[in-house]
Structure 1
Amino acid sequence: MHEIRWARLEDVEDLGRVHAASYRDAYKEIMPADYLVKVAAEERARHFEHSLSQDMERTAIMLVNETAIGCLIINPSIEGFESTAEISAIYLLKEYQGSGYGTRLLDWAVERLKELGYIKVILWVLQENKAAIGFYERRSFEFDGTEREIYRSRNLRQMRFQKAL
C-alpha cells in the first residue's frame, strides 16, 4: 500500500535519505563523482528542515508500507510565467523505479497543482538523462526549446519541459 502526502517536519530524515540516495543513483553516469559524493542525507535533511519550517517550497513524500521511497518539490515558477508551477525535484529510490510509483507521484503532483489553480507545469531535465526525458515525454510533457547550462563540477545542459494542466 502506498501513500503520498505533504511532508511534515518529522519527515526530514526520510526526505534527506531518499533525496540523497536517489539523486546519486539518477546522476551517477552523468555528474562527476566528486560532486555526487557531497550529496549527503544529513545535508539534504537540513535543507528540508529549513524549507519546511520556513514554508519555502511545497514538498511531498511517498511511502510504501510506511517506508519513504520518494519525494517531490513544487514551487511557483521563477521563469515569470503566470499561473505556472515548477516541479523542481522528483526522486524515487532506484529499487522502486519501473513499478509505476514514479507515475503515481507525478500524477499526484499534477492533481495538487490543478487544485492550487495552476494551468501549466514546467520542469528541467539534464540533456544526458535520456531515461527521465522518456519518462516525461510518455506523460505528455514537451520540450519547449529552452535550454540552460548548470555547473555540477562540470558544465551540464538542462532542457525545459512543460505540460498544460
Structure 2
Amino acid sequence: MPQQALVRPATPDDAAAIAAIHITAWQAAYAGIIDPAFLTALDLAKRTQRWQHLLTRDNQSTLVTISGEEITGWVGFGADDEVPADCGALKGLYIAPQHWQHGYGTRLLTAACTRLRQLGWRHAGLVVLQDNHAARAFYERAGFTTNGVAQPHTVGQQILPVLQYRRPLDTSRV
C-alpha cells in the first residue's frame, strides 16, 4: 500500500465514490454467487443518493481509505441485529477491485475495530456469504472465527446462506 494512504471518516462529498466502490466490489466479489441480473441492475444514482442520506445523518460510522486523491475503499460499523448483541458490527467493508490485495482492507478493518473498541464494544461481529471464500479467508486471517452455522439471508430474490463471525477486540489484535 502506498505510504500516503490514509483512513478518515467519510463525508457526504464521498457518497458517489463510496457508491461506485460498493457496486463494483459487489459485481466482482459476488460474481457466481449472486444472480448476475441483480448485480447488473445495481444503480449508481440510487446508491449514491442512499449514501448521501446515510453520510448526512451520521458520518462517524463510515471510514474511507484514500491514496492520493482517490477513495480506494470503505468500512461501515456500529450496532446491528445481524450479529450477537455483545458485538459491535462491521456492516460492510469493500475495496475498489483494482485496489484489492494492496492492504487497504486490512487498514480499514484495523481502524474500524479500533473505533468499535473506543465505543465500548468488547467484540466485533460480521456476516459473510458462505460462498465468499476470499472474504472468509481475509477475516479468518484477522482473527475472526465462526461457529459454522449458516443462516438464510435475502439478496434480491435469492436466499443465500451467511456465516456469522466474531472476534475479541483486545488491544493486542487491533
TM-score (norm 1): 0.92
How many residues are matched? 164
SS at match of 1:39: coil
1:101 partnered with 2:107 = no
SS at match of 1:161: strand
- Do the aligned partners of residues 59 and 142 (structure 1) sit closer, same or farther apart at CA in structure 2, a change above 3 Å counting? same
Provide the residue aligned with 2:20 in structure 1: 17
CA contact (8 A) 1:144 1:162 kept: no
CA contact (8 A) 1:88 1:123 kept: yes
Deviations 1:92-129 (A, max 9, x none): 01111112221111111111111111111100001111
SS at match of 2:74: strand
Moved more, 139-148 or 90-99: 139-148
Aligned-CA RMSD value:
1.7
Q: For 1:86, which of 65, 86, 89 is the aligned residue? A: 89
SS at match of 2:75: strand
Deviations 1:30-82 (A, max 9, x none): 11111111222222211111112222871111111120110111121324513
| Percent identity over paired residues | 26
- In 1, the alpha carbon distance for the partners of 2:43 and 2:110 equals 28
Provide the residue aligned with 1:111 in structure 2: 114
Q: For 1:163, which of 164, 167, 170 is the aligned residue? A: 167
- In 1, the alpha carbon distance for the partners of 2:117 and 2:79 equals 12
Q: Give the alignment of 1:130-145 within 5 angstroms.
A: 130-145=133-148
SS at match of 1:60: strand
TM-aligned CA deviation for residue 87 of structure 1: 0.6
Provide the residue aligned with 2:9 in structure 1: 6
- In 2, the alpha carbon distance for the partners of 1:17 and 1:123 equals 22
Letter in 1 for 2:93: I
- In 1, the alpha carbon distance for the partners of 2:159 and 2:40 equals 17
CA contact (8 A) 1:75 1:87 kept: yes
TM-aligned CA deviation for residue 140 of structure 1: 0.3
- In 2, the alpha carbon distance for the partners of 1:32 and 1:13 equals 24
Moved more, 146-155 or 5-14: 146-155
Provide the residue aligned with 1:70 in structure 2: 73
Task: Name structure 1 gaps, 5 residues minimum.
Answer: none
Provide the residue aligned with 1:36 in structure 2: 39
- In 2, the alpha carbon distance for the partners of 1:162 and 1:119 equals 10
Which consecutive segments of 4 or more residues in structure 1 shift more than 6 A?
none
CA contact (8 A) 2:147 2:164 kept: yes
